Amino acid sequence: MYALGPGGKLFEPEDQAIRLDLNMDSGEACSVEVRKGRNRNILVGVTNPQLAQQLSSLEKPFSIFSPGLAGISKRETYVSDGVLFRTLARGDANLVLRNILLRLSGSDAWALS
């Protein structure tokens, strides 16, 4: 997570945090701020948590970001959930796309109505 910062580093000062501002058509706004915390932790701050909870709904997704889908491999082997989640967290979704689709196809939450 530290690698998200400029030059691959996160810093503690508030003015050097990574900040994502979301401004809705309704006029509501929400921001998420990520910076280095103490003792190798990460400090995350959210303004307007009610709006943030609405945006994070799995039933009505606001946005989907799946980094690394360029360059999908010709072959892929089945991987365990732990390996799959770590690969996704690294941003290498292209390496496990078929595994992701397999998991989604078996999920009731993603079934078409």
Residue 2 in contact with residue 36, Cβ under 8 Å?
A: yes
| Residue-by-residue pLDDT tens, the chain, 113 positions | 556 666 666 777 777 778 889 888 899 999 988 887 777 777 888 999 999 888 887 787 777 665 555 677 778 999 999 999 999 888 888 888 899 989 888 888 776 65
Helix 81-89 crosses helix 97-105 at what angle (to 10 degrees)? 120
| Identity of the amino acid at 95 | L
The predicted pLDDT at position 59 comes to 80
Residue 69 in contact with residue 93, Cβ under 8 Å?
A: yes
